[in-house]
Amino acid sequence: MGVYRQLINALDKDNRPEEAHNFWMKKIGTDLHSVPWDLCTLMISIYYRSNMLERLVKLFKGLQSYDRKPPDKLVVQKVADAYEMLGLLEEKNRVLEKYNYLFTEKRWGNLKKSKKGSQKKVEKSVERNQTETYNEESNTVSVQMSSSSQSRTMDDARVTPSTQQNQKIDLIETVHRMIRS
């Protein structure tokens, strides 16, 4: 499909949309269930720019018949605009309603979850690379990290001083419990 994409792209850049359409129909357009979305998006864009709105709508309906969902809102917006220019306002509203989630959802999901997950990984690596010593005279616990992990984690912006302090406090509480028992 890479060669086909290059050829269609070249025809588009050479301002020959009719030839791009003919090539699409002969080689690609008959097998819509397995054509990659990026190629379909390219053809939809060519139809849109060339004012071949009936062909754009036909291609989109063909993709829908195979239950193929558009990958982004740009495709849906072009199809909705095509319906509007053709005077099919009910169809435009139906498409916008059906794929409304593309306009409201964030593309990459909730970023807070990924930050929390990576922070836990850093905390675990800090725990593995630290050594604890207990000073009986002063009743204190000191925590030292190995030099390689110290430079790595101190440079990492996700490790905050409060995280390190919480780890030290937890360690001190554990040592005190051990002393009492």
The pLDDT assigned to 61 comes to 94
Whether the CB-CB separation of 45 and 59 falls below 8 Å is answered with no
Spacing of C-alpha 170 from chain mean position: 37
φ, ψ for residue 85, nearest 5 deg: -65, -25
Q: Report helix, strand or coil for 144.
A: strand
Residues 50-103: tens digit of each pLDDT: 999 999 999 999 999 999 999 999 999 999 999 999 999 999 999 999 999 988
The pLDDT assigned to 177 comes to 75
**Would you give the DSSP letter of residue 70?**
P
21-25, 107-111, 149-153, 174-178: least confident range: 149-153
Q: What is the mean pLDDT of the chain?
A: 77
The pLDDT assigned to 125 comes to 53
The radius of gyration computed from the CA coordinates of the chain, to the nearest angstrom, equals 30
The pLDDT assigned to 97 comes to 93
φ, ψ for residue 97, nearest 5 deg: -70, -40
Residues 150-167: tens digit of each pLDDT: 444 444 444 455 666 777
Whether the CB-CB separation of 145 and 159 falls below 8 Å is answered with no
The pLDDT assigned to 64 comes to 92
The pLDDT assigned to 181 comes to 66
47 vs 172, higher pLDDT? 47
Domains of the chain: 2-104 (1.25.40.10), 111-180 (no CATH)
- Alpha-carbon distance of 77 to 93, in angstroms, equals 11
The pLDDT assigned to 170 comes to 76
The pLDDT assigned to 130 comes to 56
| Closest listed residue to residue 77, CA positions, set 90, 95, 56 | 95
- Alpha-carbon distance of 160 to 175, in angstroms, equals 23
The pLDDT assigned to 110 comes to 47
Question: 173: pLDDT confidence band, cut at 50, 70 and 90?
Answer: confident
19 vs 119, higher pLDDT? 19
| Closest listed residue to residue 149, CA positions, set 114, 172, 174, 124 | 124
Both tokens of 54, joined, read 């009936």
